[in-house]
Structures are given as structure tokens and as C-alpha cells.
Amino acid sequence: MQEFGVCELSMVPVRKQPSETSEMVNQLLFGDLIKVYDSQNNWLLIHTYHDDYEGWIDKNMITNINKTEFKRLANGKPSFVIEASAKAESETNTQLNIPRGGRLTDVNDGNFEISGNRYSIDNNLFIQAGTISLTDLAMRYLGSPYMWGGRSPFGIDCSGLIQIIFKMIDINLKRDASQQAEQGINIDFINESKEGDLAFFDNSEGKIIHVGIILEDNRILHASGTVRIDKLDHHGIFNDSQNKYTHNLRIIKRIQS
């Protein structure tokens, strides 16, 4: 029988192998839904619902839910925490810090529910999906540190950044840059690109390894060491502080029409 779960913690590491010392390849944020495919001791092999990404999580870090609750949360009206961190309080007066990008379902006057647990949150700390522009969302991550596998303002990787800002406008992208490069429509020339398009970059072997979001005035916002803004041209990303090109442009994609 298929098992379902929801992340009811601030963040949960998703690991490559069922071990605390294994590489973190992804990260669940509050409200993320998962399906369970296997178990090994205290570990669950899961697929995240929004992108079907596979990894292992500690079974004690997830809330088990039934299929009915899974469908309610999956199909309900999404809102997202917009501040770097927002305090939500449960009916038992337990406080929880939800990071930006945490998903709240069917919020009514600051109140929402997960698997029978009721929470309240200040109305100024979240937005309904799609009510803030993609660029405005991206700019809120400026200065966030780079962390492989991360999806929060406290540590985020290049494709995690792109995925979470699109998620907050209710568009689901795949997890890795190479997967995201297969979505959307091709833009043949950089002078035909517009703000909100995605630029993908490859290594010497031709493999897509990096992604960023194109801004106005030939600039790009991306996670590299930190979430930063650099110059972009048909060669790639030019880093002024290093006075060199750091990433080789491979392809430009448009996700939004």
C-alpha cells in the first residue's frame, strides 16, 4: 500500500543514501508532500510530490498522512512564507519557524491545518501563490549562502533557488539544472531573452551544471558561493570581482509565456 507524508518541520535533509553521513541531495521545506517507496531501518526512500525527486529521509522527520489528507493538501489553495523565516504557532502553543518557500494550504485569516494540527501565522508573513513577481521573489534571496542540496534562504543551490521561486508562483520545475533545462521553450539568442527567462551553463564535457534567472540590463541572478547578480552575455557569466568568465552559456529557456 502506498504511504504518504508531509514535512511538518522547518526543513528536512534528503540524503543520497540511508545514512546521516550521506550527501544531502535535496531538502524538504515545511508543507512539502512526499510518497514513500521503500524503508530501511529508520530511513524512508521517498519521492517528493512536486518534482518526483528521489532520496532518503529519517522516518522520524516526517508526518504520516492518509491519501485523503494528501489529496487535500496537494489540491488546496497554496500560499508561501515570504519572509526569510516566519513563526507559526500551533493550538498547543508550540512555535515553529517556517523558512521562505514553506507551503501553507487553504489559509483562512492566518489559520491553516495539516493532518489535524492547527496553526496560526501573521497575515503579513505569507503570500498567495503568484501574487508577487518572479523577479521580486528572486531578489529576496540575494546574499543567501550557497549550500549543495539546499532550498532555503539559509543555504541554497543554483537549481534549488530557481525551483523554489517558480514554486511560489505555482509553477513546478524539476530539481536539478540538467532536468530544468529540458522544460520550457528554447530562446535562440540572448538578445531575444527577457527578464524571468532561465540561462543554463555547461562544463567542458557539455553537461548542464548551473542555472540562473535573467534580469534586465544583461544581468543574471544565480547561486554561486552566494546568491548574487553578475553580468551575462553570449559567452556566459562575467564576474567583475574576479575579472573573468565563470560559467559558459549553453542554452536559454522560457518557462513563462
Domain formed by 134-254, architecture: Alpha-Beta Complex (3.90)
pLDDT score of 7 more than 90? yes
One-letter amino acid for residue 132 of the chain? I
Mean pLDDT, rounded, for 43-51: 98
pLDDT at res. 123? 96
Coil, helix or strand at residue 166: helix
**Position 103 pLDDT exceeds 70:** yes
Q: CB burial class (10 A; 0-12, 13-18, 19+) of residue 143?
A: exposed
Q: Where are the domains positioned within the chain?
A: 1-129, 134-254
Decide: pTM greater than 0.85.
Answer: yes
pLDDT at 86 over 70: yes
pLDDT per residue as tens digits for the range 237-252: 999 999 999 999 999 9
- Identify the pLDDT of residue 2: 80
Residue 134 C-alpha cell reads as 518572479
Model confidence at 236: pLDDT above 70: yes
User: What mean pLDDT comes out for the span 56-66?
Assistant: 98
- pLDDT given at position 1: 60
The model's pLDDT over 109-151, given as tens digits with 9 standing for 90+, comes to 999 999 999 999 999 999 999 999 999 999 999 999 999 999 9
CB 78 within 8 A of CB 170: yes
* Three-state secondary structure call for residue 165: helix
The residues annotated with a catalytic role in the active site are: 158, 210, 222
Residues 205-222 as b/e (b if ≥16 CB within 10 A, e otherwise) read: eeebbbbbbbbeeeebbb
Per CATH, the architecture of 1-129 is what?
Answer: Roll (2.30)
Quick one: cell of 49? Answer: 510530490
Per-chain mean pLDDT for the chain: 97
Helix, strand, coil distribution of the chain in percent, nearest 5? 15, 45, 40
What's the pLDDT at 186?
Answer: 98
What is the Cα–Cα distance from 166 to 254, expressed in whole angstroms?
Answer: 12
